[in-house]
Each structure stands twice: as C-alpha cells, then as structure tokens.
Amino acid sequence: MTASQHAREILQVAAAAADSKGGQDLVALDVSGPLPLTDAFLLVSGRVERNVIAIASEVEDRLNDAGVKTLRREGKGEGRWVLLDFGDLVVHVFHEEDRMYYALERLWKDCPTLPIELPVHETAE
C-alpha cells in the first residue's frame, strides 16, 4: 500500500509551511503499510522552542486554510515536540535535540520516504 494522493498533496502544503518558518531537516515517510490510521509522517526540526511552536502554528494554519481539519494536537505548550494529526498526514515538529533523542527516522527506517518539493529561496550575493 502507498500513501494516498490526498496525503501527498497536503504533505506539500505542510512542508512549504514548515519551510517558511525555518523548519529544518524535513523528512516525509510513507507509513501507510504498517499504520492503518495514517498515510504519511512529516518530520521537521526547529532550532529553539519558539521556532518549534511557530512552525507548528504555520503548518496548522495553512492546512486549516486549505480545508484540512486538525484532528488532534499535542505538545504545543512546551515547544519540544508538537504532534499535529490531520488524518492522512501526521506532522511531528521537534526541537532538534528531541528529534535526535527519539530518532523516529530510525524507528520507521523500513518505510519509504516521500518526495518533498520546497520553494527555491533566493540567496543574497
């Protein structure tokens, strides 16, 4: 089984939102095989707690604006690991230290990655 087209579409919206707030090390995993309740995970790191909260807020706002309802939200108050459940997509926004500690990429290493298309950022010369 592979991630649905809907999951892939909202993944791109979520990834662009995370990127716009400085999200780092974005990784998307197709977890549709082992998990019957969701199709994809998006893993994102933030540098500090405020950055984690800003990333999570932007992802939630953009997906809600696109008509995707937030089913569950956990951890937003602490800013260390925020979980946003949108049904077909679950977004994990970690403080970079917590991401290394929990190592979800290692836990889900048998799941294929999904491509993420991010906008090109202009660099100052």
The domains of the chain are located at 5-114
Instruction: Average the pLDDT over 39-45 and give the result.
Output: 97
What CATH code would you report for 5-114?
Answer: 3.30.460.10
Residue matched to tokens 């889900």: 108
- Please report the beta strands in the chain, taking only residues with DSSP state E, as ranges in sequence order: 24-30, 40-46, 72-74, 81-85, 89-95, 113-114
Count the alpha carbons within 13 Å of 8 in the hemisphere toward its beta carbon. 9
pLDDT > 80? residue 120: no
Q: Distance (Å, rounded) from C-alpha 41 to C-alpha 31?
A: 7
Query: Binning pLDDT at 50, 70 and 90, where does residue 52 land?
Result: very high
In this predicted model, what pLDDT tens digit does every residue of 103-115 receive, in sequence order? 999 999 999 999 9
Mean pLDDT across 4-11: 95
Whether pLDDT at 123 is above 70: no
The pTM score is 0.92
Q: Quote the percentage of the chain above a pLDDT of 90.
A: 83
CA dihedral (85, 90, 96, 97) positive or negative: positive
Task: Name the pLDDT band for 125 (thresholds 50, 70, 90).
Answer: low
**Per-residue model confidence as pLDDT tens digits over 61-103:** 999 999 999 999 999 888 999 999 999 999 999 999 999 999 9
Sign of CA dihedral 92, 58, 61, 65: negative
